[in-house]
Amino acid sequence: MTARRKTFLVWGQYALLVAGLCAVGYCAVAFVEAAHYQDWARDQMRKASLSVAEPSTTRGSATMSQPTAFGVGPGVDPGMTLVARIDIPRVHVSDMVAEGTSPQVLRVAVGHIPGTALPGQAGNVALAAHRDTFFGRLGELKSGDLIRIAVPGRQYLYSVKFTDVVLPNETWVLQPSTGQLLTLVTCYPFHYVGPAPKRFVVRARRLGGE
């Protein structure tokens, strides 16, 4: 092996090492950022819940016209609004939901898909999150599993009806409904390397709702 080739291999190893360290560092920063936002959002939800006079219920009014204004989280775009908290006991999910599906939102929270119903409204409430963060275990859900959406002073309970795998252009999963539905969306396959070609969908119906 020539000296030039040896030098090339050594520098190649250094380059791969640096790339690996950068990737690990990025993941660490993203994890800390998400944890920081989630802690802040939980505290905001707690404070907002204390200020609401009505008791929490799964059968309350079905009117909620806008996401509650909770203020701006640490390092978050002023336009990013906290919407709710989602709890899925079956897969140990308990995460905060913010308005929008921009990269910034999905980096730190579950995103509420704009144009779909808000929690408590009649229609189809659609939420999205990355498969390698908040929605990594959606594939374990079964028919009948419970999902709870909490907003200040009120909770909405949903029962899973079905799961499905669809193509990205199958927008029927986001279409409005006359009933009270909840749709969760993430990329699929769950362990695919790179941009995933499909979407995993969970459809649930509100208990006690029309």
CA distance 89 to 145: 8
pLDDT of residue 112: 97
Beta strands 123-128; 180-188: pairing state: parallel
Domains of the chain: 8-206 (2.40.260.10)
CA distance 87 to 92: 8
How far is residue 205 from each of residues 70, 166, 195, measured CA to CA in Å? 27, 19, 30
pLDDT of residue 90: 95
**Helix and strand element counts for the chain (H, E):** 2, 8
Q: What is the pTM of this model?
A: 0.76
pLDDT of residue 59: 43
pLDDT of residue 22: 46
Q: What is the pLDDT along the chain (210 residues), one digit of tens a residue?
A: 677 776 766 666 656 555 555 444 545 555 678 889 999 999 988 888 887 644 444 444 444 444 444 444 444 554 579 999 999 999 999 999 999 999 999 999 999 999 999 998 999 999 999 999 999 999 999 999 999 999 998 999 999 999 999 999 999 999 999 999 999 999 999 988 888 999 999 999 999 865
CA distance 140 to 132: 14
pLDDT of residue 14: 57
